[in-house]
Structure formats: C-alpha cells, structure tokens
Structure 1
C-alpha cells in the first residue's frame, strides 16, 4: 500500500504542534518552513486535519493552526483517514467474471479469495494504526531525541 507524502507531513506537523506553546497558533507557512515543504500543499493537508477535527484553525494575520484535542486522543488512523480519505485501499472489481474463464452470471460464485485476503490485510493495517496514538509516537521520539520538543518549540516561537 502506498500513501501520499501528505500523511508523513501531517503526522510530523501534528507532533510539532503538540510541542508548540499551548496558546500559540502556528501558520502553515511557518510549519512548512520547518521541513522546507511547499506551504500551499501543506496547507491543504492542514485543512483536511481541521475538517477531521484533529486541528483547529484561526484566520487572519496572527492566525494559524493548533491541535484540537490532546495527542493521546489522536490515532495514526485518524490522520491517515483525514489525509487519504476513509475509503478502502483495495476494491475488488470481480475481474474473474470476465474473459474465457468467466462463469455464467447465474452460477453461485464463492466469495473472491483475493478480495477476502486483501480485506483481512487492510483490516489488520487499520487496526494497527488505530491502536497507536500520536502520544505513542511522541514517546518513541523522546527516547531517541529527548531535546526535540524544546528545539521545535524554540524554532516555532522565533
């Protein structure tokens, strides 16, 4: 499965917002500059996160984005669904009903084994993402880079 780079951008940005001062809204331009990303494209991802209730936005020259809820209540699946949409990653189009091996329409076909296997795999993937929160990821970051939140906070505040 391939996800857009917007998922990575959104996840990192959510962590950066978690580390920003609590009373601070950060502009899309500033958030994009942190990773040298194109601001208009990141802004599209941020707007998707707002629509999903993960971020809030404040308009105006001093406006920007901040988290709408604690990172303990934001799962990786929440972010993926906000960016990629809630649709299924695999869609069976029943190609087995076409071509020389196709059975007549009236036959009772067993469920497509490929469709079933793909659905099981996607369900496992979704469950794993839903079981992990941004707080879990933050915990991992803090173990390997304990100064990351403070460095990020300082940079965003400049």
Structure 2
C-alpha cells in the first residue's frame, strides 16, 4: 500500500501552513520551493485542498493560500481523502464474496487505519514541531 506523492506534498503543505502561517496567506512559490516541487504541480494539489474546504485561496499581490478558520479540526484522513478520494485502499477479494476470510481481515485492518488517521489532527503534529528543540 502506498499513497501518491501528491498526498505526501499535501500533508507537508498543510503542516507548513499550520506551523508557519495559520492566519497569513503564503504564496504557491514559497510553498513549492519549500518542498522542492514545481509550482504547477503544487497548484493542482492546493486546488483539491481548496475544493475540500481546508484551504482558502486569495489572488493578488498579497494573496496565496492559508488554512481555513477551523483548521484545528482537519485530520490526516481529511487531507488524504481530499487528494486520493474516498475509495478503499485495497481491492479485497477476487470474487467480492462477503464471506471471504481474507476480505474480512483486510476490511478490519483498513477500518483501524482509517480510524487512526481520522483521530490524528494536523494541529497535533504542528504542536509537536513547534515544541521540538
């Protein structure tokens, strides 16, 4: 199982915004430079985060991206699903039989992982980063 690079960039972008400037707009060039990725690629990722309502976008000289007002409630799962979509991570069983024992194990594991990602908020990681020596 592996998430896309876009999800990795989205998580790091959200963390950077949470640490560096939760109330201020940050330009896409600064965000892209920070991660060593093209502005075009990061703009596509940010568009998904805007559509999901996690980030606000403002154009103009003082524009850029900033976290929404209640950003403290944004979970890792919210960010991942904004980029990857809500589809299951695993294609469970070849015949999709609800009695398939393999499928039951995979579904249970995925539910636990999704629950963990839902409980972990970007603000929790931001606090750890700001407290680190």
User: For residues 35-63 of structure 1, what are the alpha-carbon distances to aligned partners after superposition, in whole Å with 9 as ceiling and x for unaligned?
Assistant: 22111111111111111110011133432
User: What are the ranges of 5 or more consecutive residues in structure 2 without an aligned counterpart?
Assistant: none
2:125 to 114, 118, 137: 137
Q: What residue in structure 2 maps to residue 53 of structure 1?
A: 53
- How many residue pairs match? The answer is 132
CA separation in 2, counterparts of 1:76 and 1:33?
A: 23
Consecutive aligned runs of 4 or more in structure 1 exceeding 4 Å deviation: none
Quick check: 1:119 aligned with 2:107?
A: yes
Shift of 1:21: 6.3
Shift of 1:71: 3.4
CA separation in 2, counterparts of 1:136 and 1:15?
A: 10
CA RMSD of aligned residues (A): 2.0
The SS at the match of 1:37 is coil
C-alpha change, 1:132 and 1:110, in structure 2 (3 Å) is: closer
CA separation in 1, counterparts of 2:131 and 2:62?
A: 34
CA separation in 1, counterparts of 2:125 and 2:27?
A: 23
User: What are the ranges of 5 or more consecutive residues in structure 1 without an aligned counterpart?
Assistant: 97-108, 146-158
Shift of 1:93: 5.1
Q: Whose Rg is larger? A: 1
| TM-score, normalising length: structure 1 | 0.74
Q: Answer yes or no: is the 8 Å Cα contact 1:71–1:133 preserved in 2.
A: no
CA separation in 2, counterparts of 1:110 and 1:87?
A: 18
Q: Answer yes or no: is the 8 Å Cα contact 1:25–1:63 preserved in 2.
A: yes
